[in-house]
Amino acid sequence: MDAILLQILNGLDKGSAYALIALGLTLIFGTLGVVNFAHGAIFMIGAFCAVGLSQILNISFETIDPTKLDFLGNPAKIKTAYVESWFGTEIGAAIIDWAVPLAILFSIPIMLFAGWAMERGLIKHFYKRPHADQILVTFGLAIVLQEIVKAFFGANPIPTPAPAMFQGSIDFGMLVGFPENAIIYPYWRLIYFLFSGVVIVAVFSFLRFTTFGMVVRAGMADRETVGILGINIDRRFTIMFGVAAAVAGLAGVMYTPINSPNYHMGMDFLVLSFVVVVVGGMGSLEGAVAAGFLLGILESFASMNVFKDIIPGIDQIIIYLVAIIILLTRPRGLMGRKGVMEE
Amino acid sequence: MKILGLNEKDSRFLLIVIFLTLATPVLLQPFPEGSGMAQFNAGYPDLMQRFAIFGIFAIGFNILFGLTGYLSFGHAAFLGIGSYAVVWMYKLLDYNVIWGLPLAVVVSGIVALGIGFISLRRSGIYFSILTLAFAQMMFVISYSDLFGRFVGTTITNGETGLQVYGNDPQVLLGATEPSSPHFFGIVMRENFWTPQFGDWQFTFNNGYYFCAVIAILAFYLSLRIFRSPFGLMLRAIKTNQNRLNYTGVHSRPYTLAAFVISGMYAGLAGGLLAAMDPLAGAERMQWTESGTVVLMTILGGAGTLMGPVLGAGFIKYFENIFSKINDNVLHQWFAWMPDGLEDAIVWVLHFFVGKGWHLTLGVLFMLVVIFLPGGLVEGGTRIWRFIRGTDRKEKTADATHQPEHVAYVAEKEEF
């Protein structure tokens, strides 16, 4: 029993990342009808927002402290971050420590702007072109973004730790009545899951309970009629593109402590997120979220030794296998809408 | 003049292609050794072999994407399968490539049949994503050698990659046989002629000519497919599959045939890669590799005969040239400029050369997709028309006989 619970928990953090990226992909597809191959790159840029912020906060100047000597006998040079000298040592250190959570605030405007710029600058011109062209141009964009990040941050993964407060693990089993040390779970993964839950709820309530969201939903159902009613649906869809980019960006920001970001992390996630979207059903937001968590949890179940002994390496291909089976039995995906992407 | 059942125009076209392919070692070596421009020479065996091999890969991909209109993002899987098949034949029989290459084609054809059978149930984006998922699955399988672990022996040798070891059976290996890939004694990596004319040094390599002959055959086959009723059917599928279905034509067998053919081309290309260099690794199956063949085809011009080959050559050439240019070379080039300006220009360019070659490629690719959907071939045609001053209307002269573009569901939502 505790083993099952542990696997579910283990699947949640990856599942959250899948769900957030797939949610953004589906938002873009449902509103604009574009398959965005650059969405993984947006996730990656989000992660590098966190890296960038922590590097900016760590910018420091050197002072010479004549009272201390370094090992060569010269006066020791002491590096002090500007932040520390401005706000005092304690507050400064705390700010640097909290770089990743702070990057959330920092990244939202950046990602909104990036999404807006992408839609207005590039994708807008591709609505009337075939789907293949949309895939190709966003694929090209993904390569460009990835290479730019590589040029500035290098090809190696950059570790970006979570705040000291959240390092370490929680004995989750104790909370729900299992013996001690049965289920150990890192704090940050729990936070990642809760955070993604908050983002998902926020996106859904934004779509459900605001006038703006209502218009967007109406536009997803029948764009033409909404346009005829005198609503500038294009502008709203552009904003939704920005929102989708922000969702993926936030997923990236919060993912940095779990896995050190490198320039091709986006591509790695993108392929799986596509599978998630297809399994969930093209154009279905609920489907994307559900399939994200489902596949994340399935993946972690498949990595249990019980299953690995029967079929070695099943954990690495289970997602693809499930996708193939689902597409063969339910071509529309789990919760696919009728009439989306059908011949 | 008509040859090989082609009409006059195509015969001339084929002859030009044959000439260009066979003369590549000379044509790509226009600068004398030791001159400053020598670094732009591309006439060395390794690169020329890759031109031919990726040309084959792109020709095959074009049959699926350019002709039938199905954008596959998983063709690298067949490339890898071809390589593995050939290396396994080295391990089991001997270094003669004659055993491996047909096997590479057959095996990748069978795998393509399986993948195609499932993926082709959907079209459009679904198809792209499905092939992507399959290729990624194949990559994971071969990277972790899952088949091997399943049957209890090594099949792909995991991340080390498959290669020939001293204790492999190699049952056909004769005493005098060369210990590197060869074709009935013609060793691939040897040069049969290295003439020197003044400062010009040319290399005629066995391996290149082996690839070149196969590439010509592959090109001829694709030419015949383009001109055949079967090719016409594929074109019809690309233009309007719905209308074709309403006419009572079952289109699935045609698309499946196109998929299998292009998979076999990819397998052949992968086999040739292993024939030039007796290694096979999982990284060949990574989906970025599938992306590369998409780039090649689009860059050259999808749906044209020559485009994919041009695209493959273009990308492989500039990949080699650009990665050789580093900051020092750039400083040399711009040394005549004032210092500040020189540094600024070098700083900007440095992102695009050397390791930044992929950035250049990405930008170039985006520009081509945005402004020149027909690729280099269309660019060439436009320039040619511009020079000749041909009336622009000629291009759309037959508009009344062209079927209109029918929107997909998602496109219909426009107003």
Residue among A142, A150, A317 whose CB faces B137 most closely: A317
pLDDT greater than 80 at residue A309: no
Q: Is B121 on the interface with A (CB under 8 A)?
A: yes
Residue A124 sits at the chain B interface (C-beta within 8 Å): no
Both structure tokens of B102: 């047909």
Residue B211, pLDDT score: 92
B411 at A interface, C-beta within 8 A: yes
Residue type, B357: W
pLDDT band at B399 (very low <50, low <70, confident <90, very high): low
Which pLDDT tens digit goes with each residue over B148-178?
A: 777 777 888 877 888 888 788 877 777 777 7
Closest partner residue to B150 (CB to CB) among A141, A311, A342 is: A311
Three-state secondary structure readout of A114-163: HHHHHHHHCHHHHCCCCHHHHHHHHHHHHHHHHHHHHHHHCCCCCCCCCC
CA distance B293 to B311: 9
Interval B82-100 mean pLDDT: 89
> What residues of B are in contact with residue A35 (Cβ under 8 Å)?
125, 128
Kindly determine whether residue B362 and residue A141, on different chains, have CB atoms separated by under 8 Å: yes
Smallest CA–CA distance, residue A294 to chain B, in Å, is 17
The residue type at A6: L
Chain B neighbors of A282, CB-CB under 8 A: 125-126
Average pLDDT, chain A: 84
Q: Report the candidate in A122, A36, A293, A6 with the shortest Cα–Cα distance to residue B363.
A: A122
Crossing angle of helices A99-121/A89-97, nearest 10°?
50
Q: How confident is the model at residue B270 (pLDDT cuts 50, 70, 90)?
A: very high
What are A81-134's pLDDT values in tens digits? 787 778 877 888 888 888 888 888 889 999 999 999 999 988 888 888 887 788
Q: How far is CA B87 from CA B52, B80, B97, B261, B275, in A?
A: 20, 11, 9, 22, 8
Task: Note whether B133 contacts A339, CB cutoff 8 Å.
Answer: no
Token look-up 């290295």 returns: B194
| Short-list A27, A197, A232, CA closest to A115 | A27
Identify the three-state secondary structure at position A76: strand
Phi first, then psi, for residue B414 (nearest 5°) are -75, 165
Of the ranges A1-15, A193-207, B190-204, which is most confident? A193-207
Q: Considering chain B, what is the average pLDDT of its residues?
A: 84
Q: What pLDDT does B415 receive?
A: 41
**Disruptive mutation site among B125, B146, B237, B360 for chain A (greatest number of A CBs within 10 Å):** B125
Q: What is the mean pLDDT of residues B83-90?
A: 91
Q: Which two tokens stand for residue A268?
A: 């790695």
Provide the pLDDT for residue B111: 94
Summarize the confidence of residues A252-259 as an average pLDDT: 88
Average pLDDT over residues B57-71: 91
Amino acid at B55: G
Bigger pLDDT: B71 vs A5: B71
Measure the N-to-C terminal CA separation of chain B; round to a whole number of Å: 53
Among the partner-chain residues A227, A328, A341, the one whose CB lies closest to the CB of B125 is A341
Q: Is 50 exceeded by the pLDDT of residue B273?
A: yes
| Mean pLDDT for the stretch of residues A194-199 | 92
Q: If 0-12 CB within 10 Å is exposed, 13-18 middle and 19+ buried, where does residue A230 land?
A: exposed
When mean pLDDT is compared across A60-64, B99-103, B128-132, the lowest value belongs to A60-64
**Is pLDDT above 70 for A342?**
no
Is the pLDDT confidence value at A173 over 80?
no
Chain B contact present for A35, CB below 8 A: yes
Is residue A274 predicted with pLDDT exceeding 90?
no
Q: Tell me the pLDDT tens digit for each residue of B18-49.
A: 999 888 888 888 887 777 777 778 778 888 89
Contact B124 A341 (CB under 8 A): yes
CB contact under 8 A, A132 and B134: no
Calpha distance B261→B230 (Å, rounded) = 12
Percent of chain B whose predicted confidence (pLDDT) is above 90: 24
Q: Compute the average pLDDT of residues A42-67.
A: 85
- Quick check: B144 and A313 CB within 8 A? yes
Q: What is the distance in angstroms between the Cα of B406 and the nearest Cα belonging to chain A?
A: 10
- Model confidence at B403, pLDDT cuts 50, 70, 90, reads low
Residue of A nearest to B124 (CA): A131
Look at strands B182-183 and B162-163 and give their pairing: unpaired
User: From residue A5, how far is each of A172, A294, B264 by CA, in Å?
Assistant: 10, 14, 46
Burial of B248 (0-12, 13-18, 19+ CB in 10 A): exposed
Q: Residue B396 above 60 pLDDT?
A: no
Q: Is B238 helix (H, G, I), strand (E, B) or coil?
A: helix
Q: Per-residue pLDDT for B347 more than 90? A: no
Interface test with A, best of B355, B366, B372 (most A CBs within 10 A): B366
For A52-66, A70-84, A198-212, B68-82, which range has the lowest pLDDT when averaged over its residues?
A70-84
Contacting B residues, span 288-327, partner chain A, CB-CB under 8 Å: 288, 291, 294, 298
pLDDT exceeds 60 at position A343: no
Helix (H, G, I), strand (E, B) or coil at A17: helix
Q: Which two tokens stand for residue A141?
A: 């964009």
Is residue B409 pLDDT above 60, yes or no? Answer: no
Region of poorest pLDDT, from A58-72, B270-284, B315-329: A58-72
Could you say which residues from 250 to 309 on chain A have a Cβ atom under 8 Å away from some Cβ of chain B? 267, 271, 274-275, 277-278, 282
A184 touches chain B (CB under 8 A): no
Q: How far apart are CA A104 and CA A92, in angstroms?
A: 18
Contacts of B410 in chain A (CB under 8 A): 29, 33-34, 131, 340-341
Rg (CA), chain A: 23
Query: Residue A11's closest CA among A309, A316, A301, A323?
Result: A301
- Over range B192-217, report the average pLDDT: 87
B89 close to B100: Cβ distance less than 8 angstroms: yes
Query: What's the whole-number mean pLDDT along residues B70-87?
Result: 91
Beta bridge pairs of residue A184:
A171
Chain B residues in contact with A29 (beta carbon < 8 A): 410
Nearest to B125 among A128, A131, A228 (CB): A131
Distances from the Cα of B163 to the Cα of A241, B160, B181, angstroms: 48, 9, 12
Contacts of B351 in chain A (CB under 8 A): 148, 151
In the predicted model, is pLDDT for residue A308 greater than 80?
no
| Least trusted range by pLDDT, from B81-85, B230-234, B378-382 | B378-382
Please tell me whether residue B31 adopts helix, strand or coil conformation: coil
DSSP string, A97-108: HTHHHHHHHHHH
Look at A327 and B71 and tell me if their CB atoms are within 8 Å: no
* Closest chain A residue to the Cα of B364, Cα to Cα: A140
For residue B212, name the pLDDT band (cuts at 50, 70, 90).
very high
CA angle B292, B138, B142 (to 5 degrees): 105
State mean pLDDT over B109-138.
87
pLDDT digits (tens, 9 = 90+) for B132-143: 888 888 888 888
Is pLDDT at B398 greater than 80 in this prediction?
Answer: no
Most confident region among A201-215, B157-171, B333-347 by mean pLDDT:
A201-215
Percent of chain A with pLDDT over 90: 18
**CA B259-B261-B263 angle, 5° bins:** 70
Greater pLDDT, B322 or A244? A244
Sign of the C-alpha dihedral computed for residues A261, A262, A268 and A269 taken in this order: positive
Burial class (CB in 10 A: 0-12, 13-18, 19+), A40: buried
Is the pLDDT confidence value at B390 over 70? no
Q: How far is B2 from chain A (nearest CA, A)?
A: 37
Of A131, A275, A317, the CB nearest to B141: A317
What's residue B30's pLDDT?
A: 80
pLDDT of residue B414: 43
Give the pLDDT of residue B405.
64
